Each structure stands twice: as C-alpha cells, then as structure tokens.
Amino acid sequence: MTELQIYSQNEISYEEFETRDEIEESPKSPHKRLSQFIIATCMLLTTIIFSQTPMVQRTFFYPLHYRESIDTYSARFNVDRNLAAAVIKNESNFDRRATSYVGAIGLMQLMPETAAWISTQLDEDEFDAMNLYESDVNIRYGIWYLATLKDEFDGNDILAIAAYNAGSGNVRGWIEDYHWAEDFSDISAIPFPETRAFVRKVLDARSKYHELY
C-alpha cells in the first residue's frame, strides 16, 4: 500500500470520526432529545407538585383578600364564608376595581340597579354607584344578596348561585317550566351555558376554600 493510500484512508477515518462526534453532540440526536425530554418532564412534574402545596394554592390560586369583611358579613347574614369567597373569586378574582362589559361593578360584580335596591333593603339613606368600588360596601351588599337568594330558593345553593348569575326571574321560570323540585341538584339541566359554568366553578372554588382555610 502506498503512502498516498494510507494517508487517504486515515483522512477518511478522521473525517468519519469527526462526523460521528457531531451527530452525537447534535441537539437533534436521539440521545440528546431523550435527555432534554427527561429534564423537561422532571421540571414539569416538579412544578405541578409544587403548585399543589397549600401555601402556593392560597397565594396564587385561591387567595382570601378582604377576609375581615367577608367574615363579618357572612356571619351577619348567615352565609357560608367559603361560598362568599368563591363568588368573589369567580366574579372579580378579588379585583375591587373590576367592571364588566354590562356594567357590573366591584368585587361581587353588582349591577348598580340591584345595588340601589339592596341599599333600600338595608335602610341606607343614600346610594352612590361609585361606592361599589369600595370593598366593604360591595361585600356587604353582595353577601346580603346571596343570603336573600338562598332564602328565596329555600336554602338550595345551586339555585341561589344560578340566580346570582342569571337573575332570580330566570331561575323561577326554569323551576316552573322544567318542574324542578326544591332539592334540585342537576347542574347540567341549567339552560344557560354561562350559568352552568358559573355554578360549577363557584362550587369547586367553595370546596377549595373550605380545604385551604
């Protein structure tokens, strides 16, 4: 074998060796992709597990701001504190400045007309819709309204929550049209999709608040 042939064979082997190294180090190689997948999976699982800890749940997912007002008016009007917190969570996510596209205001998303009526029922002399942005006022009115709806529907939480979202007139109509009993519990039978979703989310959040607090 000539020196030229030896050199050529060595050169080819060297080039193949370099190519093999590049493939092994390439981020698209099977080994590299598997390592990245394992790392990503571990990070995802760690995040999921960490997010389920009570401290993280209370801080980021189910806060309980304005607790003093919620406790005070829940006790005064005989409403489950966790239910009140769940309504606030789903209506405004505890943003006292929240305003909906239809004009509902504040933490418990009260319509000014409804709030004006509530103020008369509470024997308050003057009503100003801007006061609904004040946390204590909004929570007082909202929890009183929840208590009134629970009384109207004989303590049925599902019907009361549905009425909070869709109005008691609609719920009364459904009871009459579909012959619902006082112990109605079939959330899937509620005609309005938005109201069905609202009831489910509030009940789920109430369970979480009960668990966390």
pLDDT tens digits, 164-178:
999 999 999 999 999
DSSP 58: I
Domain ranges of the chain: 3-51, 64-212
Is residue 182 among the annotated active site residues? no
Indicate if the pLDDT at residue 190 is higher than 50: yes
Poorest-pLDDT segment among 33-47, 66-80, 165-179:
33-47
Catalytic pick among 91, 126, 152, 194: 91
Q: How many CA atoms lie within 13 A of 195 on its CB side?
A: 21
- CA–CA distances in Å: residue 71 to residues 40, 64, 65, 67, 99: 43, 11, 11, 6, 24
Task: State what percent of residues in the chain have pLDDT above 70.
Answer: 76
Q: How many CA atoms lie within 13 A of 206 on its CB side?
A: 16
d(CA 147, CA 163): 12
H/E stretch holding 204:
helix 193-212
Q: How would residue 28 be classed by pLDDT, with cut points 50, 70 and 90?
A: low
Q: Quote the pLDDT of residue 125.
A: 83
Encode pLDDT of 128-148 as tens digits.
Answer: 999 999 999 999 999 999 999
Indicate if the pLDDT at residue 32 is higher than 70: no
The residue to which tokens 């933490």 are assigned: 107
Q: Please tell us whether the domain made up of 64-212 is placed in CATH 3.30.160.620.
A: no
